[in-house]
Amino acid sequence: MSLDCLSVGILVADHLCDPIQHLPEAGELVQCARLPLSVGGCASNVAVDLARLGAQVGVVGCVGRDYFGRFVLDTLAAAGVDTSDIHQLEGVETSGTLIINVAGQDRRFIHAVGANAKVTTEHISLDRVRAAKVFYVGGFLLMPSLDPHKLAQQFRAARAAGVKTVLDIVLPGPGDHLSTLAPVLAETDVFLPNSDEAAMITGFQDSIQQAEVFLNAGARTVVITCGGEGSLLLSDNLRLRAGVFPTEYRGGTGSGDAFDAGYIVGLIDGQDPAGCLRWGAAVGASCVRSISATDSVFSRPEAEAFMRDQKLRIETLAP
Tens digit of pLDDT at every position of the chain (319 positions): 799 999 999 999 999 998 899 999 999 999 999 999 999 999 999 999 999 999 999 999 999 999 999 999 999 999 999 999 999 999 999 999 999 989 888 889 999 999 999 999 999 999 999 999 999 999 999 999 999 999 999 999 999 999 999 999 999 989 999 999 999 999 999 999 999 999 999 999 999 999 999 999 999 999 999 988 999 999 999 999 999 999 888 887 889 999 999 999 999 999 999 999 999 999 999 999 998 888 899 999 999 999 999 999 999 998 8
Residues 90, 122: Cα–Cα separation, whole Å? 17
Q: Is residue 213 part of a domain?
A: yes
Q: Is residue 241 part of a domain?
A: yes
From the list 40, 43, 51, 110, the residue with the least C-alpha distance to 253 is 40
Domain count, the chain: 1
Q: Is residue 221 part of a domain?
A: yes
Residues 72, 81: Cα–Cα separation, whole Å? 11
- HSE at residue 56, side-chain half, CA atoms within 13 A, is 8
Q: Is residue 185 part of a domain?
A: yes
Q: Is residue 178 part of a domain?
A: yes
Decide: 280 and 262 in contact? Cβ < 8 Å: yes
Decide: 268 and 279 in contact? Cβ < 8 Å: no
Q: Is residue 68 part of a domain?
A: yes
Q: Is residue 29 part of a domain?
A: no
The whole domain housing 208 covers: 3-21+34-316
Decide: 268 and 256 in contact? Cβ < 8 Å: no
Residues 152, 182: Cα–Cα separation, whole Å? 9
From the list 140, 163, 155, 164, the residue with the least C-alpha distance to 186 is 155
Q: What is the CATH number of the domain that holds 243?
A: 3.40.1190.20
Q: Is residue 153 part of a domain?
A: yes
